[in-house]
């Protein structure tokens, strides 16, 4: 959706497949980071939690984050992700967030489009 709006230089990583050292170095190259994670045993999916704790340890700052959470019975990764991001300094966390229950429903495409629009507008501020 961001690419369709003309945004260049987008990268997307699966945290369960990419070494966290790559994820961290990539995080330093981008102004906006969308963190999308399932809820895992009432927590954040552990590779994503590991990534977040690592960028926190590296004191990543001056970034804008958006959060997408997923869960099947009690999604709460979003709240937990925001808690870690809130412990970091000089970053912005967009208030718009999305909760996906198990899988993306057609009815939520508009929510994703709205989040993409928010990120796009923020990039062009």
Ligand X SMILES: Cc1cc2nc3c(=O)[nH]c(=O)nc-3n(C[C@H](O)[C@H](O)[C@H](O)COP(=O)(O)O)c2cc1C
Give me the residues that bind ligand X (CB under 6 A), please: 38-42, 70-75, 102
Residue number closest to ligand X, CB atom: 71
* Least CB distance to ligand X at residue 28 (A): 28
* Least CB distance to ligand X at residue 86 (A): 21
Residues across the chain: 125
Nearer to ligand X, 58 or 79 (CB): 79
* Least CB distance to ligand X at residue 121 (A): 29
Asked whether 5 and 115 are in contact (CB, 8 A), the reply is no
Question: What are the counts of helices (DSSP H) followed by strands (DSSP E) for the chain?
Answer: 4, 4
The phi and psi torsions of 7 (rounded to 5 degrees) equal -75, 130
């Amino acid at each position: 959706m961001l690419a369709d709006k003309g945004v260049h230089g987008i990268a997307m990583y699966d945290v369960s497949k990419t070494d966290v050292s790559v994820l961290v170095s990539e995080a330093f190259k981008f102004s906006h980071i969308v963190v999308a994670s399932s809820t895992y045993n009432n927590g954040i999916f552990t590779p994503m939690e590991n990534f977040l704790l690592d960028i926190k340890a590296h004191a990543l700052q001056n970034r804008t984050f958006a959060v997408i959470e997923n869960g099947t019975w009690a999604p709460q990764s979003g709240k937990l992700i925001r808690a870690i991001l809130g412990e970091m300094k000089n970053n912005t966390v967009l208030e718009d967030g999305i909760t996906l229950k198990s899988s993306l429903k057609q009815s939520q495409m508009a929510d994703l489009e709205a989040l993409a629009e928010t990120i796009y507008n923020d990039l062009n501020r």
